Chains A and B, each alone.
Chain A
Amino acid sequence: MRIKKLGAAAAALVLAGSLAACGGGDDEVEVASETDFEAGTTMAEIADRGTVTVGTKFDQPGFGLLGFEDVPEGFDVEVAKIIAGALGIAEDDIEWVQATSDIREQVIEDGDVDFVVATYTINDERKQRITFAGPYYEAGQQLMVRADEDAIEGPEDLADNPDMKVCSVTGSTPSEQIKEYLADEDQLVLFDIYDKCADALGNGQVDVVTTDNVILLGFVSESDGEFKLVGEQFTEEPYGIGIEKGDVEFCEFINETLQENEDAYLAAWDRTAGEVDGTEKPELPEADACA
């Protein structure tokens, strides 16, 4: 019953939204002009408030990078705008909060943000603290090295080269998953943001950076040929949207919004992460059941 109601509401929103956005350019995300949410839901609360707070990355080219205007830009940011639009909130009314990998759960639990779109891999441990909507993108973990590096062709080579340092970010799934490929824990260097790993790779501090391939490609494109990816992706990293634990209605709303707005989703990819060489245009994945 509830799902049907939400479905109808979502469809009405999209219609209203597309009518309202008539005349808007390709770059604009549709903003629903009228919203009608069931009272007591998160969506109603946000729509009444008129603003939404979103946690995202500030340091990841292609996904969430803080620009000079103090507003982040990237694919995650665009996805957040689509969701906000469906809630009736224009992009100027979105408040952006930096959600580095190590505090993503905290900002949700604290209630500092309404949802988090921050290259947030879905895994069971995190599901104990928060709920995921989506996935909205499937990345995979890979390795990035300097362009002249020949010794490493894939994660199997890491254990054979114990002097080579591998860099990742605290609290991230890739940092945990790479451990089984390492000779010992000393090989792993952790920082709080990927930018520092990229800098460390550039000046020889570390020899490998590992995280999701999409993030790495952003750094490769910015590196002017200094970096390259090696090997194939060796894990599957589904990105989800983090929300307060147990908020099933909000989760379903988000999933439906994305399904209804696949065109905007693909357009968003094209103008952000899609601009990087080597990326593939994604298909919106099947959403997991909300729990």
Chain B
Amino acid sequence: MSEQTVLYDVPGPRTLRRQRIGTVVALVLIAGLLAVAIQRLASRGQFDPELWEPWLNPAADDFASVWELVGRGLLATMIAASLAIVLSLVVGVGLGVARMMSGRYGRIPVVGFIELFRGLPVIITIVYVWRASAELGIPIRLLPGENALWYLVIGLTLYNSVIVAEILRAGVASLPRGQGEAGRAIGLTEGQVMRSILLPQAFRTMLPALISQLVVVLKDTSLAAVIGFGYFELLRRGQQIYQILDNPIQTLFFVGTIFIVINYALSKLAVSVERRLSVSGSTSRTGADAAGETAG
């Protein structure tokens, strides 16, 4: 935040005093709001130990059951997310290359596909895949694992592959033009230029954005909990737990924390990868673009 230090001078004594007063006021306000919230929650019994013990106390009756379900849910989430991101990568690169290399007319269906799945909310896409498979008789059951897993994965892939295609396009566009020109100058075909020169460099710049997209995919797996098809990922397991124990706030708190921790770690990874790969401006702009794309 170089901007920060530039926006104001080193504070003199009067400003320092004002800042200290401001800090105290801010802290008092925040503490006050928290106190009100805690007092209200306590009066509704939300701090009763029996609501928290199954999550926190290894000696509690249900502790083992709760965490076993969490483990299974987390595994289901990871399987769905990994499949989705890998497939999105494969399909997305294909789409991106198709878009960049097609002629003016060949481009139209590809762009149409991309704009369609980019404009649709991913939850609609997932429900569509679920019902279309049933109503059109598409044999999802031929794939290994439960049907619901594939409804989720295919839906996520349709959305995220389009995003990957756009990340790829941005990545290739950010490469110095001389790369492509030099390739063509030594007699390579367009396809060879793409494969041997542009794509490998683009992948390096895409890596941070791809890791950020994995965060999006992980968050989106929780959509399975609000769609009725019965894929027991982490949030759905959370629902199962709080329907038995009647402690939704506590359960959601812990499930949310698990998601936040995992996604935070992944985001940190993306930032460190970006820093390491930063070779004179050839990384894709994860800052602004990611703010937009990862809002999904």
Chain A residues near B (Cβ < 8 Å): 58-59, 65-68, 97-98, 100, 102-103, 106, 110, 192, 195, 199, 203, 222
With A110-B134, A199-B248: A98-B243 Cβ-Cβ less than 8 Å: no
Chain A contacts for B248, CB-based, 8 A: 199
Task: List the 4 closest pairs (A to B, CB-CB), nearest first.
Answer: A68-B65, A110-B134, A98-B230, A103-B228
CB <8 Å contact, B228 and A100: yes
With A68-B62, A98-B230: A59-B134 Cβ-Cβ less than 8 Å: no
Main secondary structure of the interface of B (DSSP, over half): helix
Chain A contacts for B65, CB-based, 8 A: 68
Q: In the complex, A27 Cα to B66 Cα: how many Å?
A: 27
CB <8 Å contact, B244 and A66: yes
- 19 A-B interface contacts by CB (under 8 A): A58-B243, A65-B243, A66-B240, A66-B243, A67-B244, A68-B65, A68-B66, A68-B69, A68-B244, A97-B230, A98-B228, A98-B230, A100-B228, A102-B228, A103-B228, A106-B134, A192-B228, A195-B243, A203-B44
Smallest Cβ-Cβ distance to B237: which chain A residue? A70
**Most-contacted residue by chain B among A68, A102, A199 (CB, 10 A):** A68
Q: In the complex, A161 Cα to B244 Cα: how many Å?
A: 33
Main secondary structure of the interface of A (DSSP, over half): mixed
Chain B contacts for A98, CB-based, 8 A: 228, 230
B246 part of interface (Cβ distance < 8 Å): yes
Smallest Cβ-Cβ distance to B133: which chain A residue? A110
Chain B residues near A (Cβ < 8 Å): 44, 62, 65-66, 69, 134, 228, 230, 240, 243-244, 246, 248
Q: In the complex, A65 Cα to B240 Cα: how many Å?
A: 9
Question: Chain A's nearest CB lies how many Å from the CB of B87?
Answer: 24
List 16 additional A-B contacts (Cβ < 8 Å) besides A65-B244, A199-B248.
Answer: A58-B240, A58-B243, A66-B240, A66-B243, A67-B244, A68-B62, A68-B65, A68-B66, A97-B230, A98-B228, A100-B228, A103-B228, A106-B134, A110-B134, A203-B44, A222-B246
Q: In the complex, A277 Cα to B243 Cα: how many Å?
A: 21
Smallest Cβ-Cβ distance to A67: which chain B residue? B244
Q: In the complex, A113 Cα to B230 Cα: how many Å?
A: 13
Q: In the complex, A102 Cα to B228 Cα: how many Å?
A: 9
Question: Chain A's nearest CB lies how many Å from the CB of B162?
Answer: 28
Question: Chain A's nearest CB lies how many Å from the CB of B248?
Answer: 7
Smallest Cβ-Cβ distance to B135: which chain A residue? A110
Q: In the complex, A222 Cα to B243 Cα: how many Å?
A: 11
Chain B contacts for A102, CB-based, 8 A: 228
Chain A contacts for B134, CB-based, 8 A: 106, 110
Q: In the complex, A66 Cα to B239 Cα: how many Å?
A: 10
Smallest Cβ-Cβ distance to A69: which chain B residue? B65
Question: Chain B's nearest CB lies how many Å from the CB of A197?
Answer: 13
Smallest Cβ-Cβ distance to A193: which chain B residue? B243
Q: In the complex, A199 Cα to B249 Cα: how many Å?
A: 12
Question: Chain B's nearest CB lies how many Å from the CB of A61?
Answer: 9
Chain B contacts for A195, CB-based, 8 A: 243
Q: In the complex, A291 Cα to B228 Cα: how many Å?
A: 29
Chain B contacts for A110, CB-based, 8 A: 134
Q: In the complex, A52 Cα to B98 Cα: how many Å?
A: 46
Question: Chain B's nearest CB lies how many Å from the CB of A17?
Answer: 31
Chain A contacts for B228, CB-based, 8 A: 98, 100, 102-103, 192
Question: Chain A's nearest CB lies how many Å from the CB of B224?
Answer: 12
Q: In the complex, A67 Cα to B245 Cα: how many Å?
A: 10
Q: In the complex, A203 Cα to B243 Cα: how many Å?
A: 16
Chain A contacts for B62, CB-based, 8 A: 68
Question: Chain B's nearest CB lies how many Å from the CB of A74?
Answer: 13
Question: Chain B's nearest CB lies how many Å from the CB of A119?
Answer: 16
Smallest Cβ-Cβ distance to A199: which chain B residue? B248
Question: Chain B's nearest CB lies how many Å from the CB of A148?
Answer: 16
Smallest Cβ-Cβ distance to A68: which chain B residue? B65
